[in-house]
Amino acid sequence: MDFFRAFYRAYKKRTPAFLQAVIRPFWRFIIKIKTLFHCVICVKTVVSWKRADFVYKTFDYVRHSSLELIAREIYENNIGGNVAELGVFQGDFAQYINQIFPDRKLYLFDTFEGFNENDVRTEKTNKSYVPDNDIFKNTSINMVLGKMRHKENCVIKKGYFPETAKDVDDTFAFVNIDVDLSEPIYNGLWWFYSRLEKGGYIFVHDFNHKRWTGAKIGVKKFVKEYGGVPYFPLSDGAGSVIFMK
């Protein structure tokens, strides 16, 4: 009892020594418990959403998680159209598009031989970043198809975009544009945006990327010429933007 009385007296006086020795550590402890409790609740909520397994396996949680939630919106809202990726390289992201849209045709546009010389020249004129010439050459159609769970859905469009799109007559629910340079990004937005279903989405990778500065130039040029298309900056690893129609 004496201890509690002494404690109560000290609490009433609230001397700096008492605050320092007892009250502050006590509140710090409570805040730690509260934070821990909050983390447990968050993990429990996310797990209970029954997320696709790839969301947890990949390095860029925000990018992959956004793809999954967008696919969910597309299915829940019965948005029609097929899906596409412009800029496939080794198919690392395309495999998840293929997995999460199992009933849609997946168009895969890439030179499969790296950047186009004219696009690189434009980039140099803009004083934007372009790495050495051998980048993105280490790929093949077989390598990409080997990663696909639903290979039968894949339509390979090998060669320079937008030329490879000339014979495509389709509409889209989801498109990922990941071609790094301003010119193919600009061309990709013009080509896909008009073919995007209402309620569909386009991701453009690298918009806020520190190095690939051409991405923002391509996006802004399209937005200005089209007459103001709203987009949402995503806080994923590369600073993508999302267009929604």
Ligand X SMILES: C[S@@+](CC[C@H](N)C(=O)[O-])C[C@H]1O[C@@H](n2cnc3c(N)ncnc32)[C@H](O)[C@@H]1O
Should residue 237 be labelled a site residue for ligand X when binding is judged by CB under 6 A? Answer: no
**Number of DSSP helices (H) and strands (E) in the chain, helices first:** 10, 7
User: CA angle, 124 as apex, 120 and 127 as ends, to 5°?
Assistant: 140
Should residue 184 be labelled a site residue for ligand X when binding is judged by CB under 6 A? Answer: yes
Which residue lies nearer to ligand X by CB, 88 or 196? 88
In angstroms, give the least distance from the CB of 220 to ligand X: 18
Which residue lies nearer to ligand X by CB, 46 or 60? 60
Stretch that binds ligand X, among 40-48, 53-61, 113-121, 191-199 (CB under 6 A): 113-121
User: Taking a C-beta distance cutoff of 8 angstroms, is the pair 211, 129 a contact?
Assistant: yes
Q: How many residues in total does the chain contain?
A: 245
**Separation between Cα atoms, residue 204 and residue 210, nearest integer Å:** 15
Nearest to 231 by CA among 195, 191, 197, 193: 193
Binding test (CB under 6 A) with ligand X, winner from 67, 107, 108, 119: 119
Stretch that binds ligand X, among 27-35, 72-80, 110-118, 237-245 (CB under 6 A): 110-118
Stretch that binds ligand X, among 42-50, 107-115, 148-156, 193-201 (CB under 6 A): 107-115
User: What DSSP element (H or E) covers 76?
Assistant: helix 61-76
Should residue 161 be labelled a site residue for ligand X when binding is judged by CB under 6 A? Answer: yes
Should residue 179 be labelled a site residue for ligand X when binding is judged by CB under 6 A? Answer: yes
β-pair partners for 242: 203, 232
Binding test (CB under 6 A) with ligand X, winner from 14, 29, 92, 149: 92
Which residue lies nearer to ligand X by CB, 88 or 148? 88
Q: How far is CA 234 from CA 5, 56, 66, in A?
A: 56, 18, 9
**What number of chain residues touch ligand X (CB under 6 A)?**
21
Binding test (CB under 6 A) with ligand X, winner from 79, 84, 93, 203: 93
Stretch that binds ligand X, among 46-54, 126-134, 172-180, 192-200 (CB under 6 A): 172-180
**Separation between Cα atoms, residue 191 and residue 35, nearest integer Å:** 47
Should residue 123 be labelled a site residue for ligand X when binding is judged by CB under 6 A? Answer: no
Pairing between strand 231-233 and 196-204? unpaired
User: What DSSP element (H or E) covers 47?
Assistant: helix 24-48
User: Taking a C-beta distance cutoff of 8 angstroms, is the pair 158, 141 a contact?
Assistant: yes
User: Taking a C-beta distance cutoff of 8 angstroms, is the pair 234, 241 a contact?
Assistant: yes
Which residue lies nearer to ligand X by CB, 28 or 149? 149
Which residue lies nearer to ligand X by CB, 86 or 173? 86
Binding test (CB under 6 A) with ligand X, winner from 180, 186, 201, 219: 180
Cis peptide before 162 (omega within 30 of 0): yes
**Residues contributing to the site for ligand X (CB under 6 A):** 87-90, 92-93, 109-111, 114-116, 119, 136, 160-161, 178-181, 184
